[in-house]
Structure 1
């Protein structure tokens, strides 16, 4: 890069603090971090004047006035157009997929349908938090490649496959029949901010983390709490 360039990294999640630090260390690259919903506004971005707005994991809807006026790049953990929609990591793992593509795409009005800048292979081994951190390391290289090479995105090709956003109750382990399924359900929800896999036994709720699969069983950490009693009418 010959000129100083300004980019925005917008995410509230601490797991991307390392990504921010690494990008700040790049010469002639100025990085502005946004963490709050209110900070991602057209007015605020106009004052910053970024070349790109990168959103590794933004927890809110991106306003049209933002993505229409600024080049907003989001990251999606599928080989788009396969896997548009919610809960990509969990939907991939329940399908038995072990390796995916991390797609960098331009944000548009239609969810996950924007043109693609580039894709990088991503392993789905390990717990969800490990996978997110692995993806963050990939994002650093992808961001620099987009900025330094001024990559222009190209339209997605192929028939979309839509993922349904998974709900907290989908973490119930009681309907599973194989140990591999139990292990996968625990690990795919084992990340900060995600409701863990669980079993409900009477008034007791058992929540599971740190799953280890062996040939004859699954070992995991468990937290047991009392479920709130329902009031009778």
Structure 2
């Protein structure tokens, strides 16, 4: 099979997983990892993973199937960074959906779904590992079961919900609130991409959070 994986940012932490997956799959398939839609070669499957460019019908027509990995239980949680918003809101689990790309964002038929349990002590890198590994699992299943999966329309009885795009302002902490009150936000702030920060006494500060084993105390 001819497979393309598109991930817009080479700095995104999912890339290490995608590169290893591509290397593994090249034993049996032709696999390209691209950053821009202008680089799309065409083929059987196009996987869109953390893709910020709009992939239009003309680009999707170059492939038998164009599939999006989206971390929500669609049709709930369309839009940007749904798993972040849900964990910050107190969720104990997130859902990863593999769906067909359409002109309307996150509206296509569902190929596969997986629930991912999230521990209350998981930090952003723990969640990343669980999410990225599940993305790889769904990509594997889509390739291995190509032609056998029967995509299902999203439940029309459920009203879609949408999340806004995450920006640095969403990582702001309130210095007058306790750590416990803001812990779910703090633990999902990637210190490189979306660091937690606050202002106090006219100065802006950046914070990072990491686990420390008990024996290190």
**TM-score where L is the length of structure 1:** 0.76
The 1-side partners of 2:192 and 2:97 are apart by 22
Question: How far apart are the structure 2 equivalents of 1:182 and 1:103?
Answer: 28
- Is 1:9–1:20's contact at 8 Å kept on the other side of the alignment? no
**Structure 1 residues 67 and 132: CA distance shift in structure 2, 3 A:** farther
User: 2:196 matched to 1:197?
Assistant: yes
More strand by proportion, 1 or 2? 1
RMSD over aligned Cα, in angstroms?
2.3
- The alpha carbon displacement at 1:212 in A equals 5.3
Q: Conserved in 1, the CA contact under 8 Å of 2:172 and 2:197?
A: yes
- Check 1:87–1:139 CA distance in 2 against 1; reply closer, same or farther (3 A cut): closer
Q: Which residue of 1 aligns with 2:215?
A: none
> Which residue does the alignment assign to 1:165?
165
Alignment partner of 2:140 out of 137, 144, 149 = 144
When Rg is computed on C-alpha atoms for both structures, the one with the higher figure is 1
Give the SS at the match of 1:28.
coil
Counterpart in 2 of 1:180?
180
Q: Distance in 1 between matches of 2:171 and 2:13?
A: 24
**Alignment partner, residue 129 of structure 1:** 125
C-alpha distance 80-180 of structure 1, shift in aligned 2 (>3 A): farther
**Whole-angstrom CA distance in 2 between matches of 1:185 and 1:147:** 36
Instruction: Give 1:104 shift.
Output: 0.7
SS across alignment from 1:7: strand
Residue 49, structure 1, aligned to residue 21, structure 2: no
In structure 1, list runs of 5 or more residues that go unmatched: 214-233
Match in the other structure for 1:119: 113
Secondary structure at 1:57 match in 2 = coil
Gaps of 5+ in 2: 213-217
Match for residue 101 of structure 2 among 107, 112, 128: 107
Q: Cα offset for 1:183?
A: 1.7
For the pair 1:32 / 2:43, whether they are aligned, the reply is no
Question: CA shift at 1:174, angstroms?
Answer: 1.0
Question: Which stretch has the larger CA shift, 163-172 or 139-148?
Answer: 163-172
Separation in structure 2 between the aligned mates of residue 32 and residue 144 of structure 1, nearest angstrom:
15
